[in-house]
Amino acid sequence: MRLSKKAEYALRAVVAMGRHGHTRPMQIQELSEGERIPVKFLEQILLDLKKSDLLRSKRGAGGGYQLNKPAAEITLAAIIEQIDGPFVPLTCAEPASPGRCGCGQALPCGLGAVFGALQAEVAAYLQSHTVADVLAREVGATHSFDI
């Protein structure tokens, strides 16, 4: 089970912006080069994140993208779900019609129970970890980001 490349790039871009705090917007070219993300792909990702109010943009000279709220208020779940949707490891973990599992079998489905619990744990973990948490764990963290 892997995140999509798009979600990985979104996480990397948002963390990079978190390093800058709210001091100034980052230009797409700067983010692309610093995080080694293709410019065209990054443009799409940043627009998706802006639609969800995680980022804001400024046009013109000195413009670019920056976090729309402090790094401590942006969860990893919010970023990933905006790009990939919710984490669903197996159709058995998807919501189903009453009395049936996501795979179509009558309840109880053992796989649905196990993977439903995994889905809940992953969702809770990602919801409880923020961009600020990621920045705090970076090697030699000496960031002065807004939390």
For range 13-42, the mean pLDDT: 91
Task: Output the CA–CA distances (angstroms, integers) from residue 93 to 102, 114, 147, in the order listed.
Answer: 6, 8, 34
45-58, pLDDT tens digit by residue?
999 999 999 999 98
Distance CA(144)–CA(135), nearest Å, equals 10
Residue 59 has pLDDT above 50, yes or no: yes
Between 9 and 98, whose confidence is greater? 9
Query: What is the DSSP secondary structure assignment for residue 123, as one 8-state letter?
Result: H
Q: Please count the other Cβ atoms lying within 10 Å of the Cβ belonging to residue 136.
A: 14
> Residues of CATH 1.10.10.10 domain(s) within the chain?
1-74+130-147
129-139, pLDDT tens digit by residue?
999 999 999 86
Residue 143 has pLDDT above 80, yes or no: no
Per-chain mean pLDDT for the chain: 86
- Amino acid, res. 75: T
Predicted confidence at residue 142, as pLDDT, reads: 57
Q: Is residue 147 very low, low, confident or very high in pLDDT (cuts 50, 70, 90)?
A: very low
Instruction: Assess if CATH 1.10.10.10 describes domain 1-74+130-147.
Output: yes
